[in-house]
Amino acid sequence: MPADDIALRSAVHDLYTTHCGWLRGWLRKRLDNSSDAADLAQDTFVRVIKARQALDIREPRQYLSTVAKGLVIDLFRRRALEHSYLEALAALPEREHPSQEEQAIVLETLVEIDRMLDALGDTVKQTFILSQFEGLSYPKIAERLGISLRTVNNHMAKAVEHCCLMQMGLL
């Protein structure tokens, strides 16, 4: 094993043993849920491992809390999407409900799309959602959002390009 990998493993190990308990407590206070706190603490360290920058961390608690805050935001966003999806599902007749497996696939797809669109501005994201999920025409979107038809076209082109580039792993 190369010396760099050994040093990196050692740095991650030291970071984990020194700060994991603190991070779980920090998350528990913010989430009021020890299970979610434990999960997000582990996810935080997974991100640290994937980033391969453990040797460069100068302020470990600040770094870990910044990564964890992003994961908390992701958790709340996912739960909000799940809640909205379940509300929409509840509005359907029971015979039209997809299977549990199909529901899980739809929810994962929604989370992935939300993640893709998150980097775009709010108006671009809203334009895409109104077009693709609510089926509104471009003129209706322009009217609802109070923007020009040309702007709707530009927003859609930007959103579609962004999604394609993310899907290809280029962003």
pLDDT, tens digit, 9 for 90 and up, residues 69-92: 999 998 998 899 889 888 888 888
Residues whose CB falls within 8 Å of the CB of residue 139, separated by 6 or more in sequence, listed in order: 149
Tens of pLDDT, residue by residue over 30-68, are 999 999 999 999 999 999 998 888 878 889 999 999 999
Q: Is 161 exposed, middle or buried (0-12, 13-18, 19+ CB in 10 A)?
A: exposed
What is the model's pTM?
0.72
**CA dist 92 → 46, 86, 96, 97, 136 (Å):** 39, 10, 6, 7, 20
Domains of the chain by start residue, with CATH = 1-97 (no CATH), 119-171 (1.10.10.10)
d(C-alpha 153, C-alpha 129), whole Å = 13
d(C-alpha 41, C-alpha 50), whole Å = 14
